Amino acid sequence: MAASRAAAVTLATLAERFDLVVQGSAAQTAIRGVCALEPGKPDCIAFAENAGQIESINRSAAAAVICPAAVAEAIESPVLVAKQPRLAFARVAALFERPSAPAGIHARAVVAETAQIDTQASIAANVIVGEHSVIAAGAVIGANTVIGEGVRIGADTRIASNCSIGDDVRMGERVSIEANAVIGGRGFGLVHNGRGWEAIPQMGSVHLGDDVEIGAGTTVDRGALDDTVIARGAKIDNQVHIAHNCRIGEHTVIAGCTGIAGSCTIGANCMIGGGVGIGDHVHIADGVIITAASQVPKNIDRGGVYSSTFRAMPATGWRKRLALFRQLDKIERRLRRVERAGLSSENNE
């Protein structure tokens, strides 16, 4: 990764901010970005997790390394000592992920007279902000994004370009929404009238808690009556669909291309793999892990790891198994006849 355009920070500053320890006299070493351990980059910081990486540290061009104490004792490079180097690195990297956006409203933005935008918020070109919406300090709204009426956006929230935020959506602080996401679109509520389908009004909205992340191209539908809720710290990947009236628990993570039907409840600290399909009105308990491409048509009432798919195999083997699957009814009927015949023989003896 190239060095960020953000201002340099010293190891001493990073240590104080993230509760780390500077080894030796390297406190004033300047850091302008993050990098991989090898080859490393000057003015950037890398990380290492075990003694097996000591030779890589010695070869690295990185200005400093985040590593555990046992590794730090064996090297001479400028070091930040951390109990969890990967976690510490992630937090440091976040400082350099994006340059700070300038505060203010771009001349080509369209902002309703009744909207309230903090002077420390940043509104890019071609953004539209609807009536009575409120945008707090430090929030950044990317180009071409549309903010509906009555929206509440918390401090330090970042919404990328080309997003659509529906009416009355509420977001906490430090929410992150990537490009082309749609938050608060109409839910897929329909009723059949005997001849065709009629739409059910979707009158709720969406509530995103603090530190929620929404990936690029993801859609979160507004509720039919109550709000769709994604709780604090939940992380949603790219191209996920969350239907109306769903509730996602705190610190749950959902990988890309998962589809969640309406009125589902997913507990806290769950991990949902990519391409999972969850049926409507399903309840999933706290601490559930669902592996990729699984189908979940019914409730999961206790924590654990759940799967419902076949692993990939050579196509010829799969075709043979598929042929057997198609014969399962016949095989079952034949087995029952054999079992009945066996019982009859035993009774006659």
CA–CA distance from 289 to each of 75, 107, 254, 316 (Å)?
A: 39, 47, 10, 31
Q: Is residue 67 scored above 50 in pLDDT?
A: yes
Which pLDDT does position 178 carry in this prediction? 97
Instruction: Tell me what pLDDT residue 3 has.
Output: 45
Position 348 scores a pLDDT of: 61
> Quick check: is 106 catalytic?
no
Report the alpha-carbon distance of residue 184 to residue 162 in Å, rounded.
14
Does pLDDT of 210 surpass 90?
Answer: yes
pLDDT-derived band at 346 (thresholds 50, 70, 90) equals low
Exposed (0-12), middle (13-18) or buried (19+): which is 294, by Cβ within 10 Å? middle
**Over the chain, what is the mean pLDDT?**
92
Instruction: Please state the separation of Cα 5 from the chain's center in Å.
Output: 26
Task: Say if residue 1's pLDDT is above 60.
Answer: no
Q: Which pLDDT score is estimated for 313?
A: 86
> What integer is the mean pLDDT of 71-97?
91
Q: How high is the pLDDT of residue 208?
A: 98
Structure token digits, residue 250: 């705190």
Which three-class secondary structure state does DSSP give residue 198? Answer: strand
Q: CB atoms < 10 A from the CB of 279, how many?
A: 15
More confident position, 344 or 212: 212
Among 118-122, 259-263, 301-305, 307-311, which is the least confidently predicted range?
307-311
Of these residues, 244, 251, 281, 283, which one is catalytic? 244
> Could you report the per-residue pLDDT of 121-156, keeping only the tens digit for each?
999 999 999 999 999 999 999 999 999 999 999 999
Q: What are 255-278's pLDDT values in tens digits?
A: 999 999 999 999 999 999 999 999
- Buried b / exposed e over 93-108, threshold 16 CB at 10 Å, is bebbeeeebebebbee
Is the model's pLDDT at 114 over the cut of 90? yes
The structure's pTM equals 0.83
The answer to whether residue 2 scores a pLDDT higher than 90 is no
Burial class (CB in 10 A: 0-12, 13-18, 19+), 168: buried
Percent of the chain exceeding pLDDT 90 equals 79
Q: What kind and span of H or E run contains 12?
A: helix 11-18
% the chain with pLDDT above 70: 96
